[in-house]
Amino acid sequence: MFGNWRIGSVNGALLAAYFIPAWALVAFNIIIAPVHGLYERPSVAVALYLSDHLQMAGMDTVRAAWLLALGRLTVVAFFAIYLVLLCIPRTRRNGGSDEALGIALAIGSLISFASMVMASKVGEMAALRLHATELLLLLGAAIVVVIERPETAPKTVHKAVQETAAIAAPLGLEQAELLHNR
């Protein structure tokens, strides 16, 4: 049953198992109470950077919080799409779910990197460790996805097909081979 699972598929499923609940909870807390949700531990570095360095106040902070929640929910949605595509064996074997995983990894890495930089600017060490860890998880999965390619379909050619190809080969550009021409 598990013979056609690749390392990248398992790695992506494990990442989705972490990021979907963790980032969805943070995003929903921001949606329900934007300022309070923004000042919770996973987003406190962003909140401090916005208030201290960019001097945002009031509705601008709320808009930035909603934008952060939208970005996190986008990552959650692409991880969920990846898990749904991963359940289809043919899609899993030929790597058709890697696009959704790649988009989730790219957007998630961007959010984690920006949050990590903001945490280092405001001196929030706990948030810096959290975002650096998330960034390393996402970049490690991206490296695995890039290096591990899906296996190619086996090329089986029957002897009869080879003989017909040898007979049809001399035609070249002289005459089109139609079904009634055989």
Dist. CA 166–CA 94, nearest whole Å: 31
Residues 122-146 as b/e (b if ≥16 CB within 10 A, e otherwise) read bebeebbebbbebbebbeebbebbe
Three-class DSSP category at 60: helix
Dist. CA 38–CA 31, nearest whole Å: 9
Q: pLDDT digit string (tens) for 93-126?
A: 787 888 999 999 999 999 999 999 999 999 999 9
**pTM strictly above 0.85:** no
Cα-Cα-Cα-Cα dihedral sign, residues 66, 67, 69, 74: positive
Instruction: Pull the structure tokens for residue 53.
Output: 């360095």
Q: One-letter amino acid identity for 43?
A: S
Mean pLDDT of 31-56: 90
Among candidate residues 118, 140, 138, 142, the one with its CA nearest the CA of residue 128: 118
Q: Name the pLDDT band for 67 (thresholds 50, 70, 90).
A: very high
Residue 176: the pLDDT is 59
Instruction: Pull the structure tokens for residue 128.
Output: 């810096």
Contact 109, 141 (CB under 8 A): no
If one compares 168 and 89, the residue with the highest pLDDT of the two is: 89
